[in-house]
């Protein structure tokens, strides 16, 4: 395998998925240094950066959420936006382990507290088209690093419009009853602390909808972790 990788690297030299500079890692040192990591103070509910730490921000108070806390690694701009786009649409699967390492380094408290890891599913047609689910790759990379089970237990049960093109209220309606627990997995979460993984957090509508089904399945607590969030 090492010989094969060396031959491939010789023909197709590895580059940074953000700036395209030659790099033996998925992101080069310069790009890693320029990431806008999210730090305190934040809203302790949704993880939004705020002027002063609060238990729930104005955005959170206006809606019901089924997760107890959400945290994101970085702001969805610059290097992270480019890298997430590559991760989702350009088959940049080797970013999964790098991202998992950054999450483990910066958000270890949420990860260590979880009993089990799961992820936001893609519709089967979209997964077939893309060839993979980036949230699943990330969850499984976290599982390998932590020794925790990364469980494929949620499914998309109907078509939803692209959330990025909808207003906040429309996003909640768009994903209502769009997900479910897979048959046979109903007991996997009973009495357990769950870490729900996705790539980008915007309004939290998709995460909350999925968390509602985990809660109905008996999850003791659900926290959400994402690579980035819009601010």
Which tokens sit at 80? 């992270």
Q: What is the pLDDT of residue 40?
A: 94
Across the chain, which distance is largest between two alpha carbons, in Å?
A: 56
Q: CA nearest 68: which of 108, 23, 114?
A: 114
For the four alpha carbons of 113, 197, 99 and 3, in that order, the dihedral sign comes to positive
Query: What is the rounded distance in angstroms from the CA atom of residue 231 to the CA atom of residue 39?
Result: 13
What is 35-229's CATH number, 3.40.50, 1.10.10, 3.30.870, 3.30.450?
3.40.50
**Cis status of the peptide bond prior to 125, with omega within 30 of 0:** no
Please report the pLDDT score of residue 132 as a whole number: 97
Where in the chain are the domains?
35-229
Tokens (6 digits) for 168: 């906040």
Q: Across-strand partners of 180?
A: 155
In order of 115, 169, 193, the CA distances from 148 in angstroms are 7, 35, 12
Q: What are the Cα distances from residue 106, in Å, to 198, 204, 217? A: 16, 20, 29
Strands 116-119 and 149-150: parallel
* Distance between CA atoms of residues 123 and 113, nearest Å: 29
What beta strand segments (E) does 76-192 contain?
116-119, 149-150, 154-156, 179-181
For residue range 12-21, list pLDDT tens digits in order: 468 999 999 9
**What integer pLDDT is reported at residue 166 of this predicted model?**
74
Q: Which residues lie across from 194 on neighbouring strands?
A: 116, 222
Residue 164's pLDDT is what?
72
**Tokens found for residue 36:** 């806008």
Reported pTM: 0.91
At 13 the pLDDT is 65
pLDDT tens for residues 184-205? 888 889 999 999 999 999 999 9
pLDDT tens track, the chain, 231 positions:
444 343 334 334 689 999 999 999 999 999 999 999 999 999 999 999 999 999 999 999 888 899 999 999 999 999 999 999 999 999 999 999 999 999 999 999 999 999 999 999 999 999 999 999 999 999 999 999 999 999 999 999 988 777 777 777 788 888 888 999 999 888 889 999 999 999 999 999 999 999 999 999 999 999 999 999 997
């Amino acid at each position: 395998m090492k010989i094969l990788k060396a031959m491939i690297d010789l023909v197709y030299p590895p580059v940074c998925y953000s700036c395209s500079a030659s790099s033996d890692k998925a992101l080069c040192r310069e790009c890693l240094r320029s990431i806008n990591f999210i730090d305190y103070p934040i809203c302790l509910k949704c993880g939004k950066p705020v002027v002063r730490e609060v238990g729930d921000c104005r955005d959170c108070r206006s809606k019901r959420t089924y997760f107890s806390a959400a945290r994101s690694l970085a702001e969805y701009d610059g290097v992270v936006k480019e890298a997430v786009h590559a991760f989702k649409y350009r088959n940049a699967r080797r970013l999964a382990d790098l991202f998992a390492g950054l999450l483990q380094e910066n958000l270890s408290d949420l990860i260590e507290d979880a009993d089990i890891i799961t992820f936001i599913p893609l519709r089967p047609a979209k997964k077939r088209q893309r060839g993979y689910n980036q949230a699943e790759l990330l969850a499984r990379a976290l599982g390998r690093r932590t020794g925790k089970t990364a469980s494929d237990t949620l499914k998309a049960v109907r078509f939803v419009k692209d959330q990025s093109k909808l207003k906040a209220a429309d996003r909640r309606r768009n994903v209502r009853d769009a997900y479910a627990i897979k048959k046979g997995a109903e007991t996997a979460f009973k009495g357990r602390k769950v870490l729900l993984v996705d790539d980008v957090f915007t309004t939290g509508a998709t995460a909350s909808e999925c968390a509602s089904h985990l809660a109905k399945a008996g999850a003791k607590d659900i926290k959400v972790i994402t690579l980035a969030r819009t601010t």
